[in-house]
Chain A
């Protein structure tokens, strides 16, 4: 049993309750046992005290989209190694995409992942189950059994289901179990061999473009099917202005649709590709500056609900290739918060809103009790608290394995969540929520 922990003089920012004020938090036996704003907290004698003066105390971040390689491609990433990166970046829970080998399309694999992650990972690993068997877009998986085993949502990861009739069935059936359908929207035909945003810049580089319509057309279809079936639908990762408009319009009619973005889209644009820098080759490509501004505005006004890292580690073998032949994907768990705080520092989005998109909104969408610290929502594990500090990291300290598109040295903020992220062997981590 660990000593009680008192975090005092912190700026407590809790988006779920709209709280942003100075206070103290007492953590006992791995859960928040007391919060005090202004006044004193009853402190046990043996408590460890952390003076968080000048720091922000926030709910631990929930990252909606993380790819690892366990089982099957452990050399890329495991829940354990991703957990290190997550903890270093203030992420205390992440949704693990099902595109492992074998694919997470069976309840036994959900069970395996939950056990494995509890034994090895510093943070909460929330397995997502595949929508279709083998992610091949043909046959549905057993949503009910998968949910029972602990899947937090269903998604085909970076794959997009092309069949409209199958999607309709999927959404109707998922509504049965109250499972959120998280769907990557990409029209296969329009995407074709495209490798970056379609436009002048792709033309200059001689690269095949991906038109925005490859995203907006399936998104419009999905939003209509969500209304038709009444399912909880989350557009996994949108990137362009027209998509933000579509989601805003759909939300006026249907409150059960939500949308997420990768931190790469508000942080970067297509010009960052420069001369074929494959670290910026991402699935959901970087779009134009206008699109970047539009997704930031969508985040600010609440059209976009969630902000995630799209953490997708690739080894250098598949990245150090000619652009069109290189794999998509980049790491981002450790830099998610710091990059998101750039949006705050630039004055584009306020701190509560940015944190909401990484804490209480993902928790709402996935039906998790975490992502909040205020009194009304207790109990919450200390494993779900992030402390944000204001110091700058060195590139050396980045935990993950490949070069991130957002280099650590470019980022102003840094978080030190690992002190409270627990260790795999401690009782605290075993009591992890949800």
Chain B
């Protein structure tokens, strides 16, 4: 496992001047990243963690630059995390929440992109309900674009923060076994995580009832399970996914109680995992639906740390995409 610039202790918090330039214009998907770029971003993020823990939490990195958070789909957590990340790096952040539906077509996505581009932002963070929408928008603007989730496609900063959390706890990523459990078919987190973990030589498992497994998933994950106990056997990490309540209406899943019985994470099922297994969840958690409250808030849970790492990862991505160039 390639380690880690961040272990050099002499560098001040948040300084990334010793990293090689990050050669991507946007962060649209994990699929676009090479292994060394993933590790580079994780190392940069590790450098950002202490910034948020010190009293003065602001760096001048993005001073004078403009960040727009363009959310076509509400997401309090992700939007807040990106906003804090931008502000800690000194950028003014504008939040735009666009209520949209494919039915009521007023302004098209491209119109929106062109309009925003004319305001000359330096980075746009985009969340959209349609897969590929963020990439389409990125083709129409002159600044960096960060994908904060596009449909069921990708959510790259989510995968990065999960990886950083795992590395903090396990000291490594490569060689671990990670199980992802829940609504695999409709999750954007799964695709990004499988790609990222795959690139770092992790054995990945997905666990779900058969009707929540998308076609071809066996080519993306190392192993596929429909039995949660089997799937959790000897894993180092279990990532739970949020079950959308509306799916448990009898058309996808018969009921919450049946789902919880077979796919909810409780102490008994978790006992099949390694003793030091950590439990992750992208939040917000449905306690009693996909996870037992005792596990959600228990010692194995690293959920709040994931939130903290989220800010660090987003700071690192902003810093990598918008390096302090020679100012005029």
Contact = CB atoms under 8 A, between A and B. Distances in A.
A317 B107 CA distance: 10
A320 interface: yes
A206 B214 CA distance: 9
Contacts of A206: 131-132, 150-154, 188, 191
B110 A320 contact: yes
Interface in B96-120: 102, 108-110
A425 to B, nearest CB: 40
A200 B150 CA distance: 18
Interface in A292-315: none
Contacts of B63: none
Contact of B131 (A199, A200, A205, A317): A205
Interface string A189-231: 0000000001111111111110000000000000000000000
A323 B130 contact: yes
A173 B109 CA distance: 47
Contacts of B133: 322, 325
B219 interface: yes
Contact of A317 (B31, B108, B216, B217): B108
B128 interface: yes
Contacts of B216: 199-204
B220 interface: yes
A275 B110 contact: no
Interface string B127-138: 010111101100
Contacts of B136: 276, 320-322
B220 A322 contact: no
B131 A324 contact: yes
Contacts of A317: 108
Contacts of A198: 215
A276 B215 contact: no
Interface in B260-313: none
A325 B153 CA distance: 14
Contacts of A201: 216
A323 B191 contact: no
Given A198-B215, A320-B108, A320-B110, A325 B130 contact: yes
B215 A322 contact: no
A323 B132 CA distance: 7
Choose among A209, A275, A325 the residue with the greatest number of B CB atoms under 10 Å from its CB: A325
Given A204-B191, A206-B191, A275-B135, A324 B151 contact: yes
A209 B133 CA distance: 17
Interface in B133-191: 133, 135-136, 150-154, 188, 191
Contacts of A322: 109, 128, 130-133, 136, 150-151
Given A205-B132, A276-B135, A324 B215 contact: no
A208 B151 CA distance: 10
Contacts of A320: 108, 110, 136
Nearest to B155: A206
B130 A203 contact: no
B102 A325 contact: yes
> Which of A198, A206, A208, A317 counts the most B-chain CB atoms under 10 A from its CB?
A206
A200 B215 contact: yes
Given A321-B108, A322-B131, A323-B132, A199 B151 contact: no
A208 B131 CA distance: 10
B108 A276 contact: no
Contacts of A207: 131-132, 151-153
B217 A276 contact: no
A287 to B, nearest CB: 13
Contacts of A208: 152
A374 to B, nearest CB: 49
Nearest to A323: B132
Contacts of B214: 202-203, 209
Given A317-B108, A322-B128, A205 B215 contact: no
Contacts of A324: 102, 130-132, 151
A376 B106 CA distance: 58
A320 B108 CA distance: 9
The residue in B130, B135, B150, B154 that gathers the most chain A C-beta atoms within 10 A of its C-beta is B130
A325 B214 CA distance: 20
Contacts of A199: 215-216
A207 B150 CA distance: 10
Contacts of B151: 206-207, 322, 324
Interface string A333-355: 00000000000000000000000
A324 B188 CA distance: 15
A276 B132 contact: yes
Interface in B199-239: 214-217, 219-220
Given A200-B220, A207-B151, 14 more contacts: A199-B216, A203-B191, A203-B214, A205-B132, A206-B153, A206-B188, A206-B191, A207-B131, A207-B153, A208-B152, A276-B132, A317-B108, A323-B131, A324-B102
Going nearest first, the 5 A-B pairs with the smallest beta carbon separation are A200-B216, A206-B153, A276-B132, A322-B130, A322-B133
5 contacts: A200-B220, A317-B108, A320-B108, A321-B108, A322-B131
